[in-house]
Amino acid sequence: MSKNVFIIGAKGIPANYGGFESFVEQLTARKVSYDIHYYVACRRDLSENKADIFEYNDATCFNVDVPNVGPAKAILYDVNAFKWVMKYIKDNNVQDAIVYVLACRMGPFIGHFKKQLKAYNGTLYVNPDGHEWLRAKWSKPVRQYWKYSEGLMVKYADLLICDSQNIEKYIQEDYQKYQPKTTYIAYGSDITKSTLKTEDKVVAEWYQEHQIKLNEYYLIVGRFVPENNYETMIREFMASNTTKDLVIITNVEHNKFYDALKATTHFEEDLRIKFVGTVYNAELLKYIRENAFAYLHGHEVGGTNPSLLEALGSTKLNLLLGVGFNQEVGQDGALYWSKDNGDLKVLIEKNDNLTLADVEVLDQKSNLRIVNQFDWKLIIQAYEEQFIGAI
């Protein structure tokens, strides 16, 4: 008999968005066990297929309508998705289902749904994601809500699946009073080369448009938010004597953060600093990663970051902010810097003088990190064993 697994919290599949969407895409596309059937919530306004229910990757996808209520839209989406799930479970008398909620947005409502789910012997899994309540983009009241909501999700979850060992440790320590049951299953990645070649039109045009030379640039890929430490990376790069460029692939808009960054660093006066917008072509982005001299990673908040895994699998040298989240992923396959004044500058200048043999050693070690711990095959196997052997 199939184990029914309902997934709530991703915007939907096919994946066109962030980490959770890509995770659900991989989880369904790479499914090995015939004993699992996935049901995936999708936001109708973002869905390519507008039907109420449709099949994709052998999963049953259901579209959820959400009114545009501003910042609360994500919370309401999770609530409406859980309503759909409970109606389906009741209408079809589905016993022993697993409902897997990605992120901790709907805490104030979770007790209500947990009670309903329990009546059908269902199990509640939660992925606590990262420290959403620490993100600078949120106002203080919103951050307080995230923290409060997280506590309730931890309280009612039968199991918390953490994609970061540091997050698992935090859940166990901060919420000891709930005696949370946790497990660690990493986010996944692959080591597959880009299908593109140097002579391909899309490659040649991109490098020409931005006046960038292969292997002559440091690369940053990530959301344009303060907690990703753009200011430190830009300031330290500008202070260094490297002749290479700093290529920044991000959803930059000329917003308050961008203007503040400009005022404090005057990056526009340094021709090496190149904001190049976003790159939606996945193969092109992989090619850009592979042909960077080095990758800079300043993410400070959150669990295992998908862009870091992609960098470890694609870019030869990786210079990471030395916080627990990044160190547990990179281990000895990366170099680390702190936010202390001058630290990254020194590392960049040392990095420029590494021998080819030094680079090769780090490249092999970072690839091994992906193969040994983050390969999608391992991740899918761990999830399927968890779902089939459910509590």
Which H, E and C letters describe 4-50, residue by residue? EEEEECCCCCCCCCCHHHHHHHHHHHCCCCCCEEEEEEEEHHHCCCC
Is the pLDDT at 195 greater than 50? The verdict is: yes
Between 364 and 257, the higher pLDDT residue: 364
Give yes or no for a contact between 272 and 296, defined as CB atoms under 8 angstroms apart.
no
The dihedrals phi and psi of 121, each to the nearest 5 degrees, come to 60, 30
Give yes or no for a contact between 171 and 180, defined as CB atoms under 8 angstroms apart.
yes
Mean pLDDT of 216-239: 93
Domains (range + CATH), the chain: 3-188+375-388 (3.40.50.2000), 201-373 (3.40.50.2000)
* d(C-alpha 347, C-alpha 319), whole Å: 8
Query: Tell me: the pLDDT tens digits for 117-136?
Result: 999 999 999 999 866 655 66
Residue 245: strand, helix, or coil: strand
Mean pLDDT of 168-176: 94
Query: Tell me: the pLDDT tens digits for 20-42?
Result: 898 999 999 999 999 999 999 99
Is the pLDDT at 347 greater than 80? The verdict is: yes
What is the token pair recorded at 157? 């979850």
In 3D space, the residue among 296, 298, 239 whose CA is nearest the CA of residue 267 turns out to be 239
Query: Tell me: the pLDDT tens digits for 230-256?
Result: 999 999 999 999 999 999 999 877 678
Give yes or no for a contact between 54 and 61, defined as CB atoms under 8 angstroms apart.
yes
* d(C-alpha 167, C-alpha 172), whole Å: 9
Give yes or no for a contact between 231 and 321, defined as CB atoms under 8 angstroms apart.
no
Is the pLDDT at 170 greater than 80? The verdict is: yes
Q: Quick one: which H or E segment has residue 345?
A: helix 343-352
Is the pLDDT at 391 greater than 70? The verdict is: no
Mean pLDDT of 103-115: 96
Q: According to the model, what pLDDT value does residue 254 have?
A: 66
Is the pLDDT at 1 greater than 80? The verdict is: no
Any bridge partners for residue 184, and if so which?
162
Helix 356-369 vs helix 306-314: crossing angle, to nearest 10: 130
Distance of CA 156 to the CA centre of its chain: 24
Instruction: Give the mean pLDDT of the chain.
Output: 93
Flag the least confident range among 5-9, 172-176, 197-201, 258-262: 258-262
Mean pLDDT of 264-275: 96
The dihedrals phi and psi of 297, each to the nearest 5 degrees, come to -130, 115
Whether omega before 71 lies within 30 degrees of 0, making that bond cis, reads no
Between 79 and 68, the higher pLDDT residue: 79
Give yes or no for a contact between 348 and 242, defined as CB atoms under 8 angstroms apart.
yes
Is the pLDDT at 305 greater than 90? The verdict is: no
Cα angle value 279/325/261 (rounded, 5°): 50
